[in-house]
């Protein structure tokens, strides 16, 4: 596979992640809404969420490898670290999801640590990529800032889910963790703009935030 083709594949993978991210939030909210007052919801282990997460993390893995050339063209040293972060996070997340689906049981603290590590590493890939593009200036900076904000939201979401602060996510959107989830959706804007750039050759024009 040529470098240009790999970059385009990474762009399409980014678009797929952008589509799946909001669907996962809807799956979380619907799962919480299905529980009664007497039960304790665990939307992060629901079948719909896990299925979407496996597909999303697979797309993240493809996107990390495919988009490496984009980041390396601006900061080769940082790009190598980003590659390790993204690949490591996606593989850890896939391993945890695979175990949960196969065994239909949680691993307790071990699973919690794995989920936290995988989510934070993937969010770190968003943050790092955003910083590289922000440093590139001009139109690429309009792409980069959305990744920084979205990555920060994903880290806050991961920590909140792992340690239990921020309340229970719900369809009313009143809990603190709901705000973290929504901030994390800024990566959707980032990923769509990345796709538009590497696949269509278009960047946000002047006046676009």
pLDDT digits (tens, 9 = 90+) for 121-169: 999 999 999 999 999 877 888 899 999 999 999 999 999 988 877 777 8
pLDDT of residue 38: 45
Select the more confidently predicted residue: 178 or 122.
Answer: 122
Helical residues (DSSP H) of 34-169, grouped into ranges: 47-66, 68-72, 76-103, 109-136, 138-163
CA–CA distance, 146 with 152 (Å, rounded to integer): 10
Domain locations along the chain: 3-200
- Comparing C-alpha atoms, which of 194, 192, 166, 193 is closest to residue 178? 166
DSSP label of 42: -
| Main-chain dihedrals φ then ψ at residue 48, nearest 5 degrees | -60, -45
pLDDT of residue 106: 58
Answer whether residue 109 shows pLDDT above 80.
Answer: no
Claim: this prediction has a pTM higher than 0.75: yes
DSSP label of 104: S
Select the more confidently predicted residue: 63 or 39.
Answer: 63
């Amino acid at each position: 596979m040529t470098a240009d083709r790999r970059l385009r594949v990474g762009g399409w993978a980014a678009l797929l992640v952008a589509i799946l991210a909001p669907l996962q939030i809807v799956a979380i909210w619907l799962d919480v809404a299905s529980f009664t007052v007497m039960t304790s919801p665990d939307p992060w282990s629901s079948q719909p969420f896990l299925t979407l997460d496996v597909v999303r993390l697979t797309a993240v893995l493809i996107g990390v490898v495919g988009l490496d050339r984009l980041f390396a063209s601006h900061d080769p040293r940082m790009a190598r670290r980003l590659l390790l972060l993204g690949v490591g996070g996606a593989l850890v997340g896939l391993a945890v999801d695979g175990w949960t689906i196969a065994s239909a049981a949680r691993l307790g603290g071990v699973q919690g640590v794995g989920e936290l590590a995988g989510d934070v590493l993937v969010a770190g890939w968003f943050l790092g990529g955003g910083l590289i593009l922000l440093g590139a200036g001009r139109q690429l900076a309009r792409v980069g800032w959305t990744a920084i904000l979205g990555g920060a939201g994903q880290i806050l979401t991961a920590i909140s889910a792992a340690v239990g602060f921020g309340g229970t996510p719900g369809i009313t959107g009143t809990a603190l963790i709901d705000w973290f989830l929504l901030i994390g959706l800024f990566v959707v804007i980032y990923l769509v703009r990345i796709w538009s750039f590497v696949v269509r050759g278009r960047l946000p024009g002047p006046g676009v935030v």
